[in-house]
Structure 1
Amino acid sequence: MKNLKYTVMVLIGGAMYGTMSSVVKLFHLRGYNAAELSFSQALLAAIFLGMCLLLSRGKESLGLSRNELMPLLVTGGAIGLTNFLYYQSVSYISASLAIVLLMQFTWFSILLEWAVFRKRPSVLELLTVFFILVGTVMAGNLFDAEISSFSWTGVMLALGSSFTYAVYIVANSRVGKNVDWLPKSTLIMAGSALAIFTVNAETIITDNHFGYEFLLIAVFLAVVGTTIPTALFAAGIPKIGAGISSILMTVELPVAVLCASIVLKEHTSPVQLAGILIMLAAIAAMNYYKSLKTRKAKQVCSI
């Protein structure tokens, strides 16, 4: 029962992330742009987490060295750019296609670790990449005769967000390992806001819609899209393990497609559904195998 509680936490966090593409698409239709939406989300999330940090620690030191501070801010910059590019992509393409392309972070992460850290992918990982690509072609409806109507700008933005998401995941797994989740999350969100502002300073300052409605939207995005999922993941992932959590977090994909179908009335064909299932199965199988491998390695070390 205890593990079930933490499993549900991770599932809810992933589902919350899955609703964001449809929600942001709706806000785009109301005239808001990706720069102001992603910046306000990151800034308010940093403020909320910072307030929690101050309340929990008071005047106590964060215990961070200068060598830990900058890598965490840069890591935050990667997730900030991910949100900006992703939010920008849904103004060009459907929310369901955007989430399918974002899920390419799985194999981008494998390639990054190979290129940067010389960690060669296993046969299973290469097979996973193959099935993800097959699933992407199907789920993205790339066999459709209307292919020319696709916005390749939107596709490239979504793929760019997938790449920066992979950078974030790889960096996040290697920096700040000894830092508590709350100061780590606060610094990552601060770095996220800083990166988005640096790239879009002129748009944020001059072309904005700041007002009461926008404030409500920003608070909603910060709480539902960042703060609550971060807290749920921080509480649940350490209890059930990264491998199982990675499998559970793939719930983001079907939730995003379902949400786009209900909220935005986007049509999803049987071929697209089959592609999504292939992608989910490939990602889940790879993460399950990795979790078993890690568990066996720990058992060997404890003997």
Structure 2
Amino acid sequence: MSLALLATALFSLKGIWIKLAYQYGIDPASLMTLRMAFSLPVYLGLGAYWWRRGRFQSRHIKSAILPAALVGSCGYYLASLLDLSGLQYISAPLERVVLYAYPSFTLLLAWLVYRQRPQRAVFFAIPLSWLGVWLMVWNEAQQQLNQDQLVLGTGLVVASAASFACYLVFSKNIVSKIGSQAFTCIAMVAASFAIFIHFSLQPSLPSLLGYPLPVYGYALCMALFSTVIPSFLFSEAIHRIGAQRTAISGSLGPVITLLLAAWILGDSISWLQLIGITLVVTAISLLNRK
């Protein structure tokens, strides 16, 4: 659970990096491409190092390459594209709240696909965490003046949450066969190439070299601290505690993003949001007791 919580904390920084980079006029596809351009050498380097150390000697690796590539593309290409697109229309805290619908999607998918009935504590923790999450952004949602943008942005991020839930659920069996390190390298390399292909197919191909220096700094931070490190942590957490509990730990994400948005972006925190933080932390504590 500690791995999942740490991954959630790092992953929650992503919305902050994106909002900071958007101030310089970069589009979602270009930012996503820069993010993976910085991430790909790390995955390739780690993959080569672990291969030489004999960690990728599982007899299942060849048969798992295609499934791992498809799952990785769904979880980190499609989900990232939808998420970055949604962040053009809604704030970072609201994006985190909507994105963290994925624990509910994950529980439903695991129940349907693997017949894994959630434990009793889950039925109490999920509603409690959702109540806290929605309280944290109640004021922000009420202040959203452009309702069309609110609906569009929310819809895109909900689709992103569903894509990431598919990644969590369908990666479980692959990770158990080839290990979290091999799976993460294969999945993220495939997602990187999917992003590069998407960028190259744009009607008017933008240049990646003309942005201000801070954009590259934010993209690098997003690559290392909100992509590479949490991707390995998430895979290992799935291997140890399963997709359901890993997903539920993600309910802490909106809390972290809310606090970071207040600190870095200057967003205000209301008393309703403070109550929401308390409810979410309580829900996570209940899950950690077992």
The bucket for the TM-score relative to the shorter chain is 0.7 to 0.9
User: Are residue 37 (structure 1) and residue 31 (structure 2) matched?
Assistant: yes
Q: Distance in 1 between matches of 2:256 and 2:142?
A: 27
Q: Distance in 2 between matches of 1:137 and 1:178?
A: 38
Report the CA distance between 1:264 and its aligned residue.
1.3
CA contact 1:17–1:229 (8 Å) conserved in 2: yes
The letter for the 1-side match of 2:288 is: Y
The letter for the 2-side match of 1:177 is: S
Q: Distance in 2 between matches of 1:62 and 1:37?
A: 35
How many residues are treated as equivalent by the alignment? Answer: 282
Report the CA distance between 1:96 and its aligned residue.
0.8
Equivalent in the alignment of 1:72: 68
Q: For 1:44-63, what aligned pairs fall within 5 Å after superposition? A: 44-58=38-52, 63=58
Report the CA distance between 1:206 and its aligned residue.
0.6
Q: Distance in 2 between matches of 1:247 and 1:121?
A: 11
SS in 1 for 2:268: coil
User: Are residue 85 (structure 1) and residue 79 (structure 2) matched?
Assistant: no
Report the CA distance between 1:201 and its aligned residue.
4.2
Q: Distance in 1 between matches of 2:91 and 2:142?
A: 17
CA contact 1:43–1:189 (8 Å) conserved in 2: no
SS in 1 for 2:202: helix
CA displacement, residues 20-74 of structure 1 (integer Å, 9 cap, x when unaligned):
2111101011111222222332343232121122133339675454431111111
CA displacement, residues 56-114 of structure 1 (integer Å, 9 cap, x when unaligned):
33396754544311111111112222222222222211111111111111111111123
Q: Distance in 2 between matches of 1:221 and 1:179?
A: 27
SS in 1 for 2:26: coil
Equivalent in the alignment of 1:181: 180
CA displacement, residues 4-29 of structure 1 (integer Å, 9 cap, x when unaligned):
xx95x765543322222111101011
CA displacement, residues 96-134 of structure 1 (integer Å, 9 cap, x when unaligned):
111111111111111112333344445543434433443
Equivalent in the alignment of 1:106: 103
Q: For 1:82-231, what aligned pairs fall within 5 Å after superposition? A: 82-121=79-118, 123-141=120-138, 145-146=142-143, 149-150=146-147, 151-203=150-202, 206-211=205-210, 213=213, 215-231=216-232
Q: 1:180 to 1:146 in 2, by over 3 A?
A: closer
Q: Which has the larger radius of gyration?
A: 1
| TM value normalised by structure 1 | 0.77
Q: Distance in 2 between matches of 1:204 and 1:49?
A: 29
Q: Distance in 2 between matches of 1:78 and 1:239?
A: 19
Identity of aligned residues (%): 20
CA contact 1:260–1:266 (8 Å) conserved in 2: yes
CA contact 1:139–1:276 (8 Å) conserved in 2: yes
CA contact 1:137–1:143 (8 Å) conserved in 2: no
Q: Distance in 2 between matches of 1:17 and 1:197?
A: 21
The letter for the 1-side match of 2:184 is: S
Report the CA distance between 1:288 and its aligned residue.
3.1
User: Are residue 17 (structure 1) and residue 18 (structure 2) matched?
Assistant: no
